[in-house]
Chain A
Amino acid sequence: MCETCGCNVTHGNRHLAYAKNELGVSAVTVLKNLLSENDSQAAHNRAHFDQQKIFVVNLMSAPGSGKTALLEATIDALRDEFRLAVIEGDLETENDAERIRKKGVPAYQITTGSACHLDAHMIHTALHQMNLTDVDIVFIENVGNLVCPASFDLGQHANVALLSVTEGDDKPAKYPVMFRAADAVVLSKIDLLPVLDDFKPVLAEYALRQLASSAPLISLSAKTKAGLPAWLEWLREQRAAQGERVRRGEIRRPRIQGDGVRFHAASV
């Protein structure tokens, strides 16, 4: 008999008390998305954007696939039609924001330092530093990286992934997380196709469909402007559709963090 509390721990059964040590471990079932904190911030950002009736597009690609060049060409084409603003994400430098400002469009540069992606908190800081009054479309140019940005919801309405013809037509098969997250895929730098005869646009599209993606594949060159009208038309359609959703009180999330997460969180 234990002197202090009157329990039955003796030399003979002390090992059971140690077993009790194991029993002292309690299990808590959680089922929480690891990025739920980022996701709540993203939902908050989206509410800001929706309240101001702004359509927000997140551009993602490998470094140098032509995101900033596409934005420059888009600004030239749409400057009289829409009010635009850009949030630039880079590891270092203000270079991309400077390129956008030269076109007369406000740009906010986020330098992430060592982080290889933008997250919803960075976008929140940016959007409160910017004057978004009467802005129609905000473009977010994510950090050049085909892996990390795909996991972080920012509060955008649509994801666009760029694939330049210098990268190889098997990229969707190698980076399924990124390309599955895209609402549209832009095949960029098609002016270089004549010299890159081993890049087959049909194979890029095949690899994309293997990801069960119905995203349109828009081929263009920001340099020659070939194919640009289809991109501009996609933007106009998507912006109009987003305006309709906001009027109906619907919230639109991009394909990031797809159906599986919600399914499993709910059913287990």
Chain B
Amino acid sequence: MHELSVCQALIRQIEIIAEEQHAVDVKTVYLRIGPLSGIEPALLAQAYPLASAGSVAFGAELRIEIAAVRVRCQHCHAETEVLPNRLICGECGDWHTQLIGGDEMLLTRIELVKRSAVLMEAQHV
């Protein structure tokens, strides 16, 4: 279960960004994960509450977009969507392909509440 290690790394990244942005709360965390990243999205989501306990990232909603596995053929140059264990060209069947998607494990976006927004809110209520 290396998803816990990965999740702890994710929390550290969120904390750094939250600090830079003067955020008081993190609402939503967007990830893009490919089947060839070696990360099981369900296990990552399971690890999240544990790994984020006591941090600004705790309680945020985790939205995981699964990236498609795509290859570019070096023979016919077609770009096709393929299965994770069948990375041959979907057009001509050649196995000399380059992976162009499906192994990513990216933190893509964070929605957070900045301290300034909270102050403004307080003034308005």
Instruction: Let me know if B62 is at the binding interface, CB within 8 A.
Output: no
Q: Is the CB of A20 within 8 A of B124?
A: yes
Q: Is the CB of A115 within 8 A of B5?
A: yes
Instruction: Let me know if A233 is at the binding interface, CB within 8 A.
Output: no
Q: Is the CB of A261 within 8 A of B106?
A: yes
Beta-carbon nearest neighbor of B87 in chain A: A212
How many residues of chain B get a CB closer than 8 Å to chain A's CBs? 54
Instruction: Let me know if A151 is at the binding interface, CB within 8 A.
Output: yes
Q: Is the CB of B67 within 8 A of A211?
A: no
A196-220: contact bitstring with B at CB < 8 Å (1 yes, 0 no)?
0000000000010111101000000
A112 CB to closest chain B CB, in angstroms?
Answer: 10
Q: Is the CB of A261 within 8 A of B105?
A: yes
Residues from chain A with Cβ under 8 Å of B95 in the complex:
209-210, 212
Instruction: Please classify the interface of chain A as helix (H, G, I), strand (E, B), loop, or mixed, using the class held by over half of its residues.
Output: mixed
B101-125: contact bitstring with A at CB < 8 Å (1 yes, 0 no)?
1111111111111100110110111
Instruction: Let me know if A248 is at the binding interface, CB within 8 A.
Output: no
Q: Is the CB of A35 within 8 A of B85?
A: no
Residues from chain B with Cβ under 8 Å of A31 in the complex:
106-108
Q: Is the CB of B36 within 8 A of A5?
A: no
In the docked arrangement, what's the CA distance between A124 and B10, Å? 21
Q: Residue among B36, B67, B96 with the most chain A CB within 10 A?
A: B36
Instruction: Let me know if B9 is at the binding interface, CB within 8 A.
Output: yes
Q: Is the CB of B101 within 8 A of A152?
A: no
Q: Is the CB of B117 within 8 A of A148?
A: no
Instruction: Let me know if B13 is at the binding interface, CB within 8 A.
Output: yes
Q: Is the CB of B106 within 8 A of A32?
A: yes
Q: Is the CB of B100 within 8 A of A260?
A: yes
Beta-carbon nearest neighbor of B125 in chain A: A17
Complex partner residue of A5 from B110, B114, B124, CB under 8 angstroms:
B124
Residues from chain B with Cβ under 8 Å of A87 in the complex:
none
Instruction: Let me know if A37 is at the binding interface, CB within 8 A.
Output: yes
Q: Is the CB of A24 within 8 A of B118?
A: yes
In the docked arrangement, what's the CA distance between A27 and B29, Å? 10
Beta-carbon nearest neighbor of B118 in chain A: A24
In the docked arrangement, what's the CA distance between A116 and B3, Å? 10
Instruction: Let me know if B56 is at the binding interface, CB within 8 A.
Output: no
With contacts A24-B114, A33-B105 taken as known, whether A259 is within 8 angstroms of B99 at the C-beta atoms is yes
Q: Is the CB of B17 within 8 A of A177?
A: no
A23 CB to closest chain B CB, in angstroms?
Answer: 8
**What 10 A-B pairs come out closest when comparing CB atoms?**
A24-B117, A148-B2, A151-B38, A212-B87, A177-B38, A260-B103, A176-B85, A173-B85, A34-B105, A212-B97
Given contact pairs A7-B124, A260-B101, A261-B106, a sample of 13 additional A-B residue pairs in the complex whose CB atoms are under 8 Å apart: A17-B121, A17-B125, A21-B121, A24-B121, A30-B106, A33-B107, A34-B106, A35-B105, A207-B85, A209-B95, A212-B71, A260-B70, A263-B101
Q: Which residues of B contact A (CB under 8 A)?
A: 1-2, 5-6, 9-10, 12-13, 17, 21, 23, 27, 31-32, 34, 36-39, 67, 70-71, 84-88, 95-114, 117-118, 120-121, 123-125
